[in-house]
Amino acid sequence: MSQSPTPLLHMSGVSAGYGEMSVLKSIDLDIFPSEIVALVGSNGAGKTTLLRVLSRLINCSGEIHYSGTPINHYTPDQVFALGMVQVPEGRQLFDRMSVQDNLLMGAYHRRNRSEVAQDLERIYTLFPRMAERRKQIAGSMSGGEQQMCAMARAMMAKPTLLMVDEMSLGLAPIIVDQLMDVLVSIRAQGVTVLLVEQDIHLALATADRGYVVETGKIVRQGPAKELIDDPALQQAYLGL
Which band of pLDDT confidence, cut at 50, 70 and 90, is reported for residue 169?
Answer: confident
116 vs 90, higher pLDDT? 116
Residue 192: inside a domain, yes or no? yes
Q: Do both 131 and 179 map to the same domain?
A: no
Q: How much of the chain, in percent, has pLDDT values that exceed 90?
A: 64
Residue 9: inside a domain, yes or no? yes
Which band of pLDDT confidence, cut at 50, 70 and 90, is reported for residue 43?
Answer: confident
- At 91 the pLDDT is 67
Q: Do both 46 and 164 map to the same domain?
A: yes
Residue 24: inside a domain, yes or no? yes
Q: Do both 52 and 13 map to the same domain?
A: yes
Q: Do both 71 and 163 map to the same domain?
A: yes
Which band of pLDDT confidence, cut at 50, 70 and 90, is reported for residue 90?
Answer: low
Q: How much of the chain, in percent, has pLDDT values that exceed 70?
A: 96
Which band of pLDDT confidence, cut at 50, 70 and 90, is reported for residue 39?
Answer: very high
Residue 88: inside a domain, yes or no? no
Last residue of a domain, one of 157, 191, 208: 157
Structural domain that includes position 110:
93-157
Distance between CA atoms of residues 184 and 231, nearest Å: 27
- Report, as an integer, the average pLDDT of 53-68: 95
Name 220's bridge partners: 212
Q: Do both 148 and 164 map to the same domain?
A: no
pLDDT tens-digit series, residues 110-159: 778 888 999 999 999 999 999 999 999 998 998 889 988 999 999 999 99
Q: Do both 203 and 182 map to the same domain?
A: yes
Q: Considering the chain, what is the average pLDDT of its residues?
A: 90
Residue 197: inside a domain, yes or no? yes
Last residue of a domain, one of 157, 183, 200: 157
**Read out DSSP for the chain?**
----SS-SEEEEEEEEEETTEEEEEEEEEEE-TT-EEEEE--TTSSHHHHHHHHTTSS--EEEEEETTEE-TT--HHHHHHHTEEEE-TT----TTSBHHHHHHHTTTT---HHHHHHHHHHHHHH-HHHHHTTTSBGGGS-HHHHHHHHHHHHHTT--SEEEEESTTTT--HHHHHHHHHHHHHHHHTT-EEEEEES-HHHHHHH-SEEEEEETTEEEEEEEHHHHHT-HHHIIIII--
Q: Do both 140 and 188 map to the same domain?
A: no
Q: Do both 116 and 178 map to the same domain?
A: no
Overall number of domains in the chain: 2
Residue 51: inside a domain, yes or no? yes
- Report, as an integer, the average pLDDT of 35-48: 92
Does residue 25 have a pLDDT over 60? yes
Last residue of a domain, one of 157, 173, 189: 157
CATH number of the domain encompassing residue 240? 3.40.50.300
